[in-house]
Amino acid sequence: MSNKEPFRLGGRSLHERLTEELPALTEAVLAAVTTRVPAYGLMPSEELAGDINRVIVQTLKSFIVMVRTKSLPGEEELAFMRESAARRAEEGIPIEFVLTAYHIGVQVVWESLTPDVRPAEVHDVMAVNSLALRYLELITPAVGAGYLDQHQTIFDDERSARHTLLTALLDGMPAEAAASRTGFRLPPCYLVLALSVGAHPDETEPGVDQLVAGRRKLRRLRAELERQVRGPVLSSLTPEGGIALLPHPAPVGEVTARDWDRLKRVVADVARAAGAEITAGVTAVAPQEVAAAAKLADEIRTVATTSGKPGGMYRLDDVLLQYQLSRPSAARDRLAAMLQPLDGNDELLQTLETYLRRGSRRPTATDLHVHPNTVDYRLRRIAELTGLDPTSVTDIALINAALTARAAQP
């Protein structure tokens, strides 16, 4: 067949047949897309009958021109597809659904034709099939590029708006005014988290780029936090930690024990996703009180960390004694001074902290890689120097308080 001769199917020119059947094909493609792609099926009927129908018609016309000319679509046709994909990005249709819709369209056209193929037309059918595959190969990256460009623009705009709102709230600016400028609706309250994020094993692995490992950890942390929380999370985070405001649907006075338990699970899930220990100080406040709450949450986090508590979520009630002991006062300085005889003796201090954490000599010896008798000797030495016996129930509470006061000193 000459390249100038049209493709034939069912004894007639293929492009003429497709042109005549365009209204029926448009209807068939629309029905198939809305049935097989859930996101399209949920679109308003006026949009399906309007923009989506128009895109299908234009795409089918482009396909018909390709069949007639035996050449792939040009830049004008591809630009139309990119613009259409950008609108789908604005509507929040996932990119995989957008790409699937184009494949469904080609499939519907193909299935409408193949029953009428005659033996003498097999060569034409194979040529059209090859052209259709090249067509999909060409338009898929064009549609993807149009979608992703718009999606990135939307993402950048929202990220900028979130950062602007977070900065305003942390600076103590009027909450409603800040939200109005950024287009966000403020929740009844925020759960304000101050996070300390430990190192992922990859960050200490020889030969591994620590910056890359840290960014990967942070990306997983952010993704899990967004997945777990309804509504826009406002955050300023680095691989080492930072601040995050989680919107909550109830006012501060209606945050329940169940809500706090769920937040504990969220923090634990985020830590697992990040692959690192996370210690979080948290408090619940109305949006206009975020600035003071962020400072309190960070103080809670600091107290939990310096007092040797394991990773997890901590409220003020969880660290009341340690928090109070960390505040500047004459009593705090007197408590810290009780351990002053141990200054410069890191071995004794480490033994004391480990023993109080582990609760007995053998686990302490295991953690320190020493003999249990060595632990006994060091504990006796601590008692001699400070007058406080780490093995005495009476003295343990005072020693813990002294350690907390010591850690809080500047």
Q: Which of 366, 365, 367 is nearest to 378 (CA)?
A: 365
Calpha distance 324→404 (Å, rounded): 10
Residue 333 to residue 312: CA distance in whole angstroms: 29
Predicted TM-score of the model (pTM): 0.60
Domain 189-325 and domain 327-408, same fold? Reply is no
**Residue 360 CB neighbour total at 10 angstroms:** 11
Report the distance separating Cα 133 and Cα 209, nearest Å. Answer: 41
| pLDDT confidence bin for 1, thresholds 50/70/90 | very low
pLDDT band (50, 70, 90) for residue 259: very high
Q: Going by CATH, does the domain composed of 8-154 fall within 3.30.565?
A: no
Average pLDDT taken over every residue of the chain: 90
Per-residue pLDDT tens digits for 340-377: 999 989 999 999 989 988 888 899 999 999 999 999 99
Q: What fold, for 327-408?
A: Arc Repressor Mutant, subunit A (1.10.10)
Domain coordinates of the chain in residue numbers?
8-154, 189-325, 327-408
- Domain 189-325 sits in CATH at 3.30.70.270
